[in-house]
Amino acid sequence: MVAVVIAMIVAIGQGHDDELRIGVVFPLTGDAASYGEKGREAIDLAVSIVNAEGGCGGRPVRVIYEDSRADPKTGVSAIRKLISADHVPIVIGDIVSAVTLAAAPIAENNRVVLLSPTSSSPAITNAGHYIYRIWPSDLAEGRAIAKLALSRDYRRVSIFHMNNDYGTSIAQVFKKTFEAGGGSIPVMEAYQAEGTDYRSFLAKMKMDAPDALYIAGYFADTATIVRQLRELGLSTQVLGTTAVEDDKFLQLAGDAAEGVIYPLATGFDPASSDAQVQQFVKKFRSRYGHEPGWVEAQAYDAFMLICHVASRLDEDVTGEALKKALDTMGSYKGVAGVIEFDENGDVVKPVVLKTVRNGVFSRLAGSE
């Protein structure tokens, strides 16, 4: 134990001047671990590409990962450790909004840039001047799918959402937009993240026979819900969230995945003919043997964006310098679309509507 404490103190003291240190706070274990692992794969890839080319503007890059377990307190410990022990000027993270929100005041007070690749909570818009994200707020996604429901003349849509910050806030956006457009919500209920028995909700929903069911959650629970829905013999149209687009969803939901409609709130399209996207997909595939998804693309963009602005800095890379560079960079084209920050550090990206057709994620016909 003593040895480790000494190692800890030594670790706090050291650091190379020419090196660019980037902290990453991702949920590497716990409920959202699968997202954190995807993000890490993408960042590892990005680091190896950048360092092979001589670093960001001549500075070699070192990434220090910390696990947040998708838990705010652990996330706060992690970012404090990165800031005070590793002296990073920039932290990429977190995937989930609760941790980003908890970490935001610490980044703000220490003038360290916090860049989230995927946090979607509307509260992040006003979380601080040093807080950026390259994912549009839930508002965009919730509105897009509600508008689709209205455009298809659905009058009654029931909502089943995960009882966490993502599911709850996006369900509320959907409800507001859908009701404002003249639709009604017969049943709206939340489910616990660790539950697996959704049958009584589905039986209850069946009695109202809604035009569609909006499931606002992550891919694993959405998969179980659609399966149970189909097992009950119901053919209700299912609307999902961006989180649905995951190969694991197709595996878990099986045939029940077919026909689920969801909005994709990132501009990432692996089938795009864009050279930058193709190169990313190719390198990712050759390194890991599987296809990258939107989490990977967002994390890759987050890293490359930082590298892009850091390489244009002549002075030392500090939090202040990075913030100034981000505010004045104009637009940057990543693999998941064009990034251009507004005055709150938010981005606006076009929302694409997609569906599962013949077991493949495809663009929804007529939504181009």
List the interface residues with other proteins, window 120-159 (CB under 8 A). Answer: 121, 123, 127
Q: Report if residue 31 touches other proteins, rule: CB under 8 A.
A: yes
Pick one of 179, 197, 274, 316: the residue that binds other proteins (CB under 8 A): 197
Choice between 66 and 269, CB closer to other proteins = 66
Q: What gap in Å lies between CA 14 and CA 149, rounded to an integer? A: 56
Pick one of 49, 72, 125, 320: the residue that binds other proteins (CB under 8 A): 72
Q: Report if residue 116 touches other proteins, rule: CB under 8 A.
A: no
Pick one of 132, 154, 178, 191: the residue that binds other proteins (CB under 8 A): 191
Number of C-alpha atoms within 13 angstroms, CB side, residue 145? 31
Among the listed residues 314, 324, 302, the one whose alpha carbon sits nearest the alpha carbon of residue 130: 324
Residue 113 phi/psi, 5-degree rounding, is -75, 130
Pick one of 67, 94, 245, 346: the residue that binds other proteins (CB under 8 A): 67
Q: Report if residue 308 touches other proteins, rule: CB under 8 A.
A: no
Residues 6 or more apart whose CB falls under 8 angstroms from that of 190 comprise 160, 161, 162, 163, 167, 168, 171
Q: Report if residue 80 touches other proteins, rule: CB under 8 A.
A: yes
Residues 6 or more apart whose CB falls under 8 angstroms from that of 306 comprise 22, 56, 90, 92, 113, 115, 322
Taking the CA atoms of residue 215, residue 30, residue 66 and residue 250 in that order, the dihedral angle to the nearest 10 degrees is: -50
Query: Of 30-38, 237-245, 270-278, 285-293, which segment contacts other proteins by CB under 8 A?
Result: 30-38
Q: What gap in Å lies between CA 185 and CA 211, rounded to an integer? A: 10
Choice between 237 and 278, CB closer to other proteins = 237
Site for other proteins in 232-261 (CB under 8 A): 232-233, 248, 251-252, 254-256
Query: Of 186-194, 286-294, 306-314, 342-350, which segment contacts other proteins by CB under 8 A?
Result: 186-194
